[in-house]
Amino acid sequence: MARKKITMIGGGQIGGNLALLAAQKELGDVIIFDIPRAEGMVKGKALDLMQLRPHDGHDSNITGTSDWNDVKGTDVFIITAGIPRKPGMDREDLLGINLGIMKDVATNIKEQAPNAFVIVISNPLDAMVYAFYKVSGFSKNQVVGMAGALDSGRFRAFIAMETGFSVQDVTCMVLGGHGDTMVPVTRLATVGGVPVTDLISAERLKEIEDRTRVAGGEIVKLFGNGSAFYAPAQSAIEMAESYIRDKKRVIPCASLCEGEFGVDGYFIGVPTVIGAGGVEKVLEFSLTEEEKAGLNKTLDAVKKTVAETGL
């Protein structure tokens, strides 16, 4: 049986880690794609990863390229392309540059692999996944943004760090936009089935929620230059694996809502079932008034960013 083909668009820190994780899980053969001036870098990363295989025992092939023809027939694309925010840049500057990149990527993917499943990581996430969807003309089940998967993972990590219990037993979710307005749903968080509200004080939980909202920024500050890459890569691989292996995982992702949670026509973080059909279902549940208000606030932020794309 032919192996699946997974292409990482963007060969930076996240792209390199995506390639490593996809190969280690043997999800398929991996291509790291970047612009021509970065071709040597992605070919070098691919060769380095090929030489790691004897020590790790996996047989995926990893290649680097800047030629769109090489990604023909790809099953899964994970898009990290775009520039990170530099000192002195505002979100609009970032949006303008990355929107141009995303339009180019969407046009080429449509041409080379019209049936692919696409996971967008590029920021500003909510606008970028919307832009890809609009420009590519792909169906809503083919396109998803990696937002809540990462944010929920961070929320889980902080709860595990606070309680000292296994992170495996922490279940929680974060809804909404991928930014400071995201909505951690603490009411539903559990550790081994025990409500987290019975384990951690309300005051401390509020601090953990706030830390989750700005968790990406905390890492940017510590790095001084650049942003998180290990956790974002693993989050996207979790989504890709659920698609490739038809696992039907329920992962908070930026999916296109058409009435769910009162949201219509926008990609926003919601509990999403990912299987062989791509985005197979959005799981709706009742929100409290406070959670609804939080979701409306995050939706306003998403609408504003999407409006700036002009699409």
Query: Quick one: which of 87, 84, 124 has its CA closest to 298?
Result: 124
Q: Where are the domains of the chain?
A: 5-145, 148-309
Q: What is the pLDDT of residue 76?
A: 98
User: What confidence tier does 49 reach under pLDDT thresholds 50, 70, 90?
Assistant: very high
Q: What is the pLDDT of residue 278?
A: 98
What architecture is domain 148-309? Alpha-Beta Complex (3.90)
Give residue-wise pLDDT tens across range 269-288. Answer: 999 999 999 999 999 999 99
Active site residues: 178
What Cα–Cα distance (Å) separates residue 177 from each residue in 154, 260, 263?
15, 15, 12
212: pLDDT strictly greater than 90: yes
162: pLDDT strictly greater than 70: yes
Give residue-wise pLDDT tens across range 62-85. Answer: 999 999 999 999 999 999 999 876
91: pLDDT strictly greater than 80: no
Give residue-wise pLDDT tens across range 222-263. Answer: 998 888 999 999 999 999 999 999 999 999 999 999 999 999
Longest dimension (CA), the chain: 55
Q: What is the pLDDT of residue 38?
A: 97
Q: Please tell me the CATH code under which domain 5-145 is placed.
A: 3.40.50.720
1: pLDDT strictly greater than 90: no
User: What confidence tier does 89 reach under pLDDT thresholds 50, 70, 90?
Assistant: low
Please state the φ and ψ torsions of residue 178, each to the nearest 5 degrees.
Answer: -90, 80
Q: What is the pLDDT of residue 179?
A: 83
Q: What is the pLDDT of residue 90?
A: 65
Task: Give the mean model confidence (pLDDT) for residues 142-169.
Answer: 97
93: pLDDT strictly greater than 80: no
Q: What is the pTM of this model?
A: 0.96
Q: What is the pLDDT of residue 94?
A: 83
pLDDT higher at 226 or 6: 6
86: pLDDT strictly greater than 80: no
Q: What percent of the chain has pLDDT over 70?
A: 97
User: What confidence tier does 113 reach under pLDDT thresholds 50, 70, 90?
Assistant: very high
pLDDT higher at 79 or 95: 79
Q: What is the pLDDT of residue 180?
A: 86
87: pLDDT strictly greater than 70: no
